[in-house]
Chain A
Amino acid sequence: EVLLVESGGGLVKPGGSLRLSCAASGFTFSRFGMNWVRQAPGKGLEWVSSVTPYSSNIDYADSVMGRFTISRDDANNSLSLQMNSLRAEDTAVYYCTRNLKHFDYWGRGTLVTVSS
């Protein structure tokens, strides 16, 4: 069974940093592209970042470019998102998703709240 479990969310002050993690199991992690997608409270879905197998290609939404860094650890089947210079508008549930043409598996998400 494919499982994606996010962790690392919490309350952080504006300008602060947070690192999210996603533990993957039930599939050969290294063979799949992975993504972060977020959803602000009561709002729609927003793609944040993607990384291909072997980290050969990485991309970010304009809204997080230069502040967020995605990375993967294939040895430990994990995906991370380092978030710096956080803003109130980054408040959202952050989902880890797997690529198979589209996002075929999603974790349950971890809530990030940016507030003073």
Chain B
Amino acid sequence: EIVLTQSPATLSLSPGERATLSCRASQRISSGLAWYQQKPGQAPRLLISDAANRATGIPARFTGSGSETDFTLTITTLAPEDSAVYYCHQRYNWRSTFGQGTRLEIK
């Protein structure tokens, strides 16, 4: 099983700042990584697929990068509505796995 490890567990930043979220895979997965945003009481929403491709309707403030084992989600110019839990996800092999999540708090 491919294990995804996210860091940090919690991130507390102010509006207008930049957030950098990390996801590390236990083995090489090429660009087969996605990022999701989940707000309380809601289903997750796809932000980024294939490591760097923004999903439909996702603002350009959200940028994904990385390959193989190290991936990053960067959110520039944070807004209050960005407060959520962010998960990374791999489907490099048929059996999906998710990271444990990073909680982003906007002060």
Contacts and interface: CB of A to CB of B under 8 A. Distances in A.
Interface residues of B, number: 23
Contacts of B91: 99, 101-102
24 contacts: A44-B87, A44-B98, A44-B99, A44-B101, A45-B38, A46-B98, A47-B95, A47-B96, A47-B98, A50-B94, A57-B94, A59-B95, A61-B95, A95-B44, A100-B49, A103-B34, A103-B36, A103-B46, A104-B46, A104-B49, A106-B44, A107-B43, A108-B43, A109-B43
Interface of A: 35, 37, 44-47, 50, 57, 59, 61, 95, 99-109
A75 to B, nearest CB: 25
Interface string B28-63: 000010101010001111100110000100000000
Contacts, number: 56
Interface of B: 32, 34, 36, 38, 42-46, 49-50, 55, 87, 89, 91, 94-101
Q: Which 7 A-B pairs have the closest CB atoms?
A: A102-B34, A47-B96, A106-B43, A45-B98, A102-B49, A44-B101, A104-B46
Given A104-B46, A108-B43, A44 B100 contact: yes
Given A95-B43, A102-B46, A47 B97 contact: yes
Contacts of B97: 47
A45 B87 contact: yes
B44 A45 contact: yes
Contacts of B42: 108
Contacts of B94: 50, 57, 59
A44 B97 CA distance: 11
Contact of B89 (A57, A100, A103): A103
